[in-house]
A and B are shown apart, each in its own frame.
Chain A
């Protein structure tokens, strides 16, 4: 028997999809297909391999961009967090980047790097990196003094304090930053596809729109949103499993 929480989740999904179905039947607009039509189209595209091909294209800049952003972002974040000079030098850049609508840079990137893989990867990176860097550096800087003092009192070397105290203490916030960054990276990837050149899933969306095949268009959109959400939830689960100690409740001593 399902728990109450899960029952309600399924129920609310049914409500939403039901509403979608009804809206499609009214129809709310000629361009609004029913839920079932869209799902049919989705399974068709999965069946004939179109989805697979499309995602191969789409995921390439996304995955590359996310890996680069994560590695560079955390590295830079640690550096900025631990070193006062680099904090002074780099933090303002990232703070401005975080508040600003970075998507506006996309036309510029296209001008400079053309319409290939490079500019798409760059789009993902500029969307994802600022929040990762800022979260990491903030977390490292805000390590509770108490822990560092305790480490010092037990004769921990500076490396030990960094590896065994500062980084574990910062890891929840770093992970949160990663999740936000990846979410922004997804936005970047899709923007890149819709705006730069249509390939992959973006292509399915624009092409189906142009031939008024709305079920396919909605199916593609549904699939990418589903993917993003599943992936982020998976990431959260991984963090829970790998870092069991991070589920600390509120140890506010």
Chain B
């Protein structure tokens, strides 16, 4: 996109949208949209409050725990499926089912089984992320060039050596791609979990603010959340590019 011959940077239209938000807010067109400047001011205010930091802490804890389990379980199961045909044929239909199933429906089950707390949210987060990680890890293993395997054999590499020096790196770009998508899904999972289980983290905050019609606060927290999610996603994309420099055009 060019303006007067100068190339505009990628996301620069967000500036226009921000301006629009400000104008709509000032014009007081609707109660629900306060001016952006007001929201930003509130944002800086509430970041310091203990309530916010507690919510952030709880959310971060649930998120990282959920992601940790999803990554460990996901990559392990995925690699297993990629290497073992029987496991693959048994498990793949289920992985596909759960990948496209509305996992939200399972949250009530988690609530009755594991209670209303952190545990359920961690499991929700893990569930949202794990399926795509499994699929991509499996794909990463399956697409390892046969020649590399034969080469490893030829030069007498031990199974350990072969795994850590060759297979791991060959599958890594694909696996990282899966982890990135999985993490984005985990962000959605941790929020959905909190929305439904609502007495912890941001879920609680949203309840509080909406009950008291604190629109500025509401949007402020929302922006923080969106910004965090977006930053994580971009950071992972950057990591993926760094690692994937040797991956063939996918």
Where the two chains meet, the residues of A that have a C-beta atom closer than 8 Å to any C-beta of B are: 4-5, 8-9, 11-13, 15-16, 28-29, 31-32, 84-85, 87-93, 95-96, 98-108, 110-112, 179, 183, 186-187, 189-191, 194-195, 205-206, 209, 214, 217-218, 221, 224-225, 228-229, 232
Contacts and interface: CB of A to CB of B under 8 A. Distances in A.
Given A12-B90, A224-B105, A104 B225 contact: yes
B195 A104 contact: yes
A99 B184 contact: yes
Given A12-B90, A104-B195, A106-B195, A214 B104 contact: no
A108 B90 contact: no
A194 B202 contact: no
Contact of B102 (A5, A87, A99, A228): A228
A10 to B, nearest CB: 10
Given A84-B1, A88-B1, A107-B206, A209 B102 contact: no
B100 A100 contact: no
B32 A111 contact: yes
B62 interface: no
- Most chain B Cβ neighbours within 10 Å, of A9, A102, A209, A229: A229
B142 interface: no
A74 B196 CA distance: 31
A191 B192 contact: yes
B27 interface: no
Given A15-B90, A88-B1, A225 B105 contact: yes
B107 A194 contact: yes
Contacts of A15: 90
A189 B192 CA distance: 13
Contacts of A32: 113
Given A104-B206, A107-B207, A187-B104, A214 B225 contact: no
A29 B1 contact: no
The binding surface of chain B is classed by DSSP as helix
B12 interface: yes
A179 B184 CA distance: 18
Interface residues of B, number: 51
B108 A103 contact: no
Given A108-B218, A209-B112, A218-B109, A103 B192 contact: yes
Interface string B63-100: 00000000000000000000000100111011001001
Contact of A205 (B101, B108, B229): B108
Contacts of B247: none
Given A108-B218, A191-B192, A194-B107, A88 B89 contact: no
Nearest to B183: A99
B196 A194 contact: yes
A107 B217 CA distance: 13
Given A183-B100, A191-B104, A229-B100, A103 B188 contact: yes
Query: Which 4 A-B pairs have CB atoms at the shortest separation, nearest pair first?
Result: A88-B1, A101-B191, A186-B102, A31-B112
Contact of B90 (A11, A103, A195, A205): A11
Contacts of B190: 101
Interface of B: 1, 8, 10-14, 16-17, 30, 32, 86, 89-91, 93-94, 97, 100-109, 111-113, 184, 187-188, 190-192, 195-196, 202, 206-207, 210, 213, 218, 222, 225-226, 229-230, 233
- Most chain A Cβ neighbours within 10 Å, of B14, B94, B226: B226
Given A88-B12, A186-B102, A195-B195, A29 B210 contact: no
Given A218-B109, A228-B100, A89 B195 contact: no
B104 A194 contact: yes
Nearest to B17: A93
21 contacts: A12-B91, A28-B113, A29-B112, A31-B112, A88-B13, A89-B16, A92-B12, A96-B14, A104-B222, A104-B225, A105-B222, A106-B195, A108-B32, A112-B32, A183-B102, A187-B104, A217-B112, A221-B109, A224-B102, A228-B102, A232-B100
Given A194-B196, A217-B112, A9 B187 contact: no
Given A92-B11, A101-B188, A217-B108, A179 B225 contact: no
Given A87-B1, A101-B229, A228-B101, 6 more contacts: A85-B1, A104-B191, A107-B207, A108-B210, A209-B108, A224-B105
B201 to A, nearest CB: 11
B14 A101 contact: no
Contacts of B14: 92-93, 96
